[in-house]
Amino acid sequence: MTLISYARRFVNLVKFEHSIFALPFAYAAAFLAGVQVPGLFRMLWITLAMVAARSFGMGFNRLIDAELDARNPRTAGREIPSGRLSRRQVWVFVIVWLAILVYSTFHLPVITRYLWPIVVAPMVIYPYTKRWTPLCHVVLGVADGLGPVGAWVAVTGVVTWPAFALGAGVGLWIAGFDIIYAFMDIEVDRRDGIHSIPADYGHDVALWTTRGFHLLAVALLAITGWAQGTSFVYYIGVAVCAALLFYENWLMRKADLEKVGVAFMTMNGIISVVFLFFTTLSLFVG
């Protein structure tokens, strides 16, 4: 086996392509924090910290869920259940990325050296929550929503409420589409005693919960812009994201599993890029 093919297994392990959901919002947070584009090296360290945190979180989740994944036909082919990567190898992987995360904080404001455990904690907790509560989606939202908060603090060196408004908006957006994603495993989750809003409460409650989360997410994104005094261009971006979220929820109005791929991957990838584009544009226009 070549080094490239071996590395590809780790890339697949953490679904590196899904970083398109997280990184644009972290960049947008960094831009909004100072109402300007930070320096190149600051952005590079923020990027490394984000990639490290996400790689750690996804790798740890795969370790904890390996046995569950093996029992689920949809996930049985993942790297650990299929034997393409051993648990020991993945443990080394997550420890290395955690070390990289900590190291990156020493190139960012001092406060980040003390706050990184707060970012990591929900990532560690999340895999266990699905075993006892359908609110696991919210915990995942908290884990991902702290990413933009971290990027904000990495620029300003202080913790302010607009950072949490943005983080909460991102967290609710992610929690909402995680509910949509959970539709694919309703029967398996019920069989194995795994909790999710779709598995515990059914399609209607899950769909309305997603709609409520996404409505609140849009409101919080708008509030963040107001707090930072952004130009009208930013609000155009929020409006476009709101329209895309409406379309995403419309696609899933009948809990059609064939639409999950479009709703989960395509639409959410577009939304994150659109938000970053209009946030960046608002710094120069208006």
Digit-by-digit pLDDT tens for the chain (286 residues) are 567 777 788 878 877 766 667 789 999 999 999 877 788 899 999 999 999 999 999 999 999 999 999 999 999 999 999 999 999 999 999 999 999 999 999 999 999 999 999 999 999 999 999 999 999 999 999 999 999 999 999 999 999 999 999 999 999 999 998 998 899 899 999 999 999 999 999 989 999 999 999 999 999 999 999 999 999 999 999 999 999 999 888 887 776 666 666 556 677 888 999 999 999 999 988 6
Structure tokens given for 212: 């409520």
| Calpha distance 4→9 (Å, rounded) | 9
Q: Could you tell me the domains of the chain?
A: 3-282 (1.10.357.140)
Structure tokens at 239: 């409006």
Which residue shows structure tokens 């952004």?
Answer: 230
Which pLDDT score, from 0 to 100, does residue 202 have?
93
Rounded distance between C-alpha atoms, residue 271 and residue 265, angstroms:
10
pTM: 0.91
What does the alpha-carbon distance between residue 263 and residue 260 come to, in Å, rounded to a whole number?
5
Distance CA 39, CA 19 (A): 22
